[in-house]
Amino acid sequence: MTTIPQQSLDFLKASAPFDQLSDDEILRLAKHVTVAYVSDDNSENIASIGKQKKGCLFLISSGQFSVKDSDSAEQHLSEGDYFAVNNLLNHLNHPITINVDSPGLVYCIDSLGIDTVIKNNPAIAHFFQTYHSQQLHNEAVADSKSMWLHKPISEVIGKKVVSTDVSTSVLNGVQHMSQACVSSLLITENDKLVGIITDRDIRNRIVAAQLNTEVAVSQIMTSQPTSITQNRTLFDALCMMTEDNIHHLPVVDRFTQKPLGMLTASDMIRHQRGNVLFLIDELAKAQNLYELTRLSWQLPHYFSKHAKRLGDFDVAGKVLSQATDIMTRKLITFFQQQNGNSPFDFCWLVYGSQAREDQTMGSDQDNGMLLAQQPNEHEAQYFAEMAQYVCQGLGKCGIKLCDGNIMASNPELRMSVDDAINETKKWVHQPTTDAILHFNIFLDARAVAGNRGLFDALQQAREPLLKQPIFLSALARHAAEDAVPLSLFQKFMFKKGHSPEDCIDLKVNAIAIINNLVRIYALAKGLKMPSTLGRLDNLTEDSLLTVKDGKNLRDIWLFLNRLRWRHQLTNNVTDNYVSISDLSSIEKHQLKAAFKSIRTAQQGISMKFAGGMG
């Protein structure tokens, strides 16, 4: 055992969270460090070092060790890992046992040195306080909540609701608006929203028409206006107002449809930052395929220019997905302008990342069509041509075609509601491995155009089917089989044959696993929304996922999503292969913590749904 040599300072300075210290602070900390070579012959001496120094924090520089330093299970540790954290922070004296799997160097930082660092650096204190909590050290998540695009509408609408009953006279309604100093009035019947009147309605439908002001507001109101629920975001509201060309958007309770407030164009301008409003607005106004493709190719430039902070990446996927929704609806409109309306109702569905609203620059298109009935040959030809036009149009807009042919242009993905229900029954009753692999993507679905009532009917029929234990068990076994890229000794495992060599596919090896896990909990609960974050926000204690575990999965998902968005924008690429050397030391620790938590979550879902078989 020797005092830490000067040349070893580089390792200490490169180790999270000490990489946040200045050179002078590192030098002061080094005076409290002893380095020990730990092998089978002297492993028991580690405990004596801690006693001599009245407590030590141990940092592994090299080697691999199996360590038990608390009441929890034995840990397999390697370079960059700490142990005895709980002993030091909580002044405990739990015995430390070490089995040496591969000998190496261990840094022993005495309590005086680490206490000084923790006292003067709250971020470092927080790092160690959460080190064994199984929760991601992810402070920036809270910052993302302050971004205007990501804000829930419930946080920005006023508490006072300006509304009146459907039987109220126009005169009384106008007086009510004047007293409240508002430009619109919500109309209710039995406490539910049924209409809206605005200043423009009063001018055009009362004053200009010289109508008697004693008539009921129901005579001039816009019935069944477009509305939004309070749990949606400002960006959702922005897209709805822009695409529908409205300046007033009622906010209603998601369960009772009772009015809660109003969002106006002025509200959106007040909150808006950057030029995403302009871009979304221009997409919605595109009059032909040329204009649409020209505008869509500005999206990558928008993201590279405006997505700078970590929190920006939290909403980037939603922005891109909403833009793709608008492109899809515009392409359907262009096709119908040229070929006439559809012979009967249809609904355009999206799956996968677009459905979850977590698209990235490399996402391909996954879509299909739900038909009101079985088409005859002529009708089938119409829908085939529409699907081909829309899918190829999306490709021209930068949303690449799906290699797996999960597109509406595939005739197998244009089916009637009855056929879709029967297909679900087949997959549920025969949940083979191949069936699960094929069907998984269709479990994240969303309607973006056409008669959405068709999709609602499908969802209602599928809900009890997708709750069946045999199906959930098969999903759980499949979700437990995917391994995070972390070895037994907590070392990163890299993608073979990839350049650079230290790459991890964050989509396949982490994000997709979380999506799979959360999907199972959501199906068991009967939740219909496809978004992973939306599902987590709506899962409660009785869904078998605790609030704490749900929050942890949410933070991990956001952290991983930020890493891949930053990778794509920084390197101007569309893949998900993040190089570990591109991460800071604290991000490497966070990534390890994330992988460990995902592995634990997989074990949990296996026990809950698959009887422990993983």
pLDDT one-digit tens code per residue, 295-318? 998 888 778 776 766 667 878 888
Tell me the three state secondary structure of residue 250.
strand
d(CA 239, CA 601): 35
Least confident interval from 188-197, 509-518, 534-543, 590-599: 534-543
How many Cα atoms are found within 13 Å in the side-chain-facing hemisphere of 604?
A: 18
H helix intervals, 78-169: 85-89, 111-120, 122-129, 140-144
In the chain, where the domains are located? 2-133, 154-273, 274-428+438-459, 467-609
Question: Average pLDDT, stretch 411-439?
Answer: 91
pLDDT at 513: 96
Query: Do 381 and 477 meet the contact criterion of CB atoms below 8 Å apart?
Result: no
pLDDT at 50: 62
Residues 135-165 as b/e (b if ≥16 CB within 10 A, e otherwise) read bbbbeebeebeebbbbbbbeebbeeebbbbb
How many Cα atoms are found within 13 Å in the side-chain-facing hemisphere of 193?
A: 28
Q: Which CATH number is 2-133's, of 3.90.1580.10, 3.40.605.10, 1.10.3720.10, 2.60.120.10? A: 2.60.120.10
The pLDDT tens digits for 495-506 are: 787 778 899 999
Range with top average pLDDT, 126-130, 196-200, 391-395, 605-609: 391-395
Show Cβ contacts of residue 428 under 8 Å, excluding neighbours closer than 6 positions.
465, 466, 468, 470, 471
Question: Average pLDDT, stretch 42-64?
Answer: 78
Q: Do domains 2-133 and 154-273 have the same CATH topology?
A: no
pTM over 0.85: no
pLDDT at 145: 41
Instruction: Give the homologous superfamily in CATH for domain 154-273.
Output: CBS-domain (3.10.580.10)
HEC assignment per residue over 10-50: HHHHHCCCHHHCCHHHHHHHHCCEEEEEECCCCCCHHHHHH
The pLDDT tens digits for 455-487 are: 999 999 999 999 999 999 999 999 998 899 988
d(CA 555, CA 542): 21
Query: Do 201 and 247 meet the contact criterion of CB atoms below 8 Å apart?
Result: no
Sheet with 222-223: list strands edge to edge.
163-165, 184-189, 192-198, 222-223
pLDDT at 308: 67
> Is the confidence at residue 612, as pLDDT, over 60?
no
- Statement: 467-609 belongs to CATH 3.40.720.10: no
- Residue 467: CB atoms within 10 A of its CB come to 14
Q: Which CATH number is 274-428+438-459's, of 3.30.460.10, 3.10.450.50, 3.30.2270.10, 3.40.50.1010? A: 3.30.460.10
Pick the closest to residue 481 from 521, 518, 511, 509 (CA basis). 509
Q: How many residues does the chain have?
A: 614
pLDDT tier, 579 (very low <50, low <70, confident <90, very high otherwise):
very high
Average pLDDT, the chain: 87
pLDDT at 78: 82
H helix intervals, 181-263: 199-202, 234-244
pLDDT tier, 340 (very low <50, low <70, confident <90, very high otherwise):
very high
